[in-house]
A and B are shown apart, each in its own frame.
Chain A
């Protein structure tokens, strides 16, 4: 049982490049989330998907897009990377629709934009 997996683990981009962060969960969870973690700021929600077929903005959505490809997979896309998007990105999932509490986290993707 892998839980929540994320690829890649590390990525370096130049300003203006695009990339997609992949996330998959094998726990049959309905809800999935993308967070970014910056020093001294805790985790901030970028986008979430309460159930397959729906996505909504979180606290810091600007510069990102998401796709809930199916129940298992939820990707995060940076269309034109900026240095301000240098961060560690975490994907999470939870069991029930709107079950915001007990979230299970992936290992993270460390992204550097130069």
Chain B
């Protein structure tokens, strides 16, 4: 069955540290891939997306993600985290329907 896995439920980093959030997908073919962010009490906002082409995609708020076909992964990265990045992050994939991972909650310490 098609699925999206985010193995880390909760991650804590210090402000200024680098960040990598993991995402793996299980699909027969390469799906379209997305990262969304949800701030407390808010809806979801699209950070970035991958459809095809360059495997390193840039998004908003200084985030980037790298698609690795061999690992079925689409990990989200940021070189230097800010306190305002504390939120929940969702990886999602679609071929005919959008399927979300269970999310990773990011906590940032000053």
Would you call B44 and A90 a contact (CB within 8 A)? yes
Q: In whole angstroms, how far apart are the Cα atoms of A108 and B45 in the complex?
A: 12
List, in ascending order, chain A residues with CB within 8 A of B25's CB: none
B:13-60 near A, CB below 8 Å: 32, 34, 36, 41-46, 49, 51
List, in ascending order, chain B residues with CB within 8 A of A42's CB: 4, 90, 100-103
- Residue in B9, B34, B102 whose CB lies within 8 Å of A101: B34
Would you call B44 and A45 a contact (CB within 8 A)? no
List, in ascending order, chain B residues with CB within 8 A of A100's CB: 32, 94, 96-98
Q: A100-B32, A101-B34, A101-B49 are in contact. Are A41 and B102 (CB under 8 A)?
A: yes
Q: In whole angstroms, how far apart are the Cα atoms of A60 and B98 in the complex?
A: 14
The 8 A CB mask of A39-81 against B (1 = contact, 0 = none) is 0111111000000000000110000000000000000000000
A107 interfacial contact with B, CB 8 Å: yes
Q: In whole angstroms, how far apart are the Cα atoms of A100 and B5 in the complex?
A: 19
> What is the minimal beta-carbon distance from A15 to any residue of chain B, in angstroms?
26
List, in ascending order, chain A residues with CB within 8 A of B90's CB: 42-43
Q: In whole angstroms, how far apart are the Cα atoms of A106 and B100 in the complex?
A: 17
Q: A43-B90, A100-B32, A101-B49 are in contact. Are A107 and B43 (CB under 8 A)?
A: yes
List, in ascending order, chain B residues with CB within 8 A of A43's CB: 44, 90, 100
List, in ascending order, chain A residues with CB within 8 A of B96's CB: 98, 100
Knowing that A40-B102, A43-B100, A100-B94 touch, tell me 19 more A-B residue pairs with CB under 8 angstroms: A33-B98, A40-B9, A42-B4, A42-B90, A42-B100, A45-B97, A45-B98, A58-B97, A90-B44, A98-B96, A100-B98, A101-B34, A101-B49, A102-B46, A103-B98, A104-B46, A105-B43, A107-B42, A108-B41
Interface set of A (CB-CB < 8 Å, partner B): 4, 33, 40-45, 58-59, 90, 92, 98, 100-108
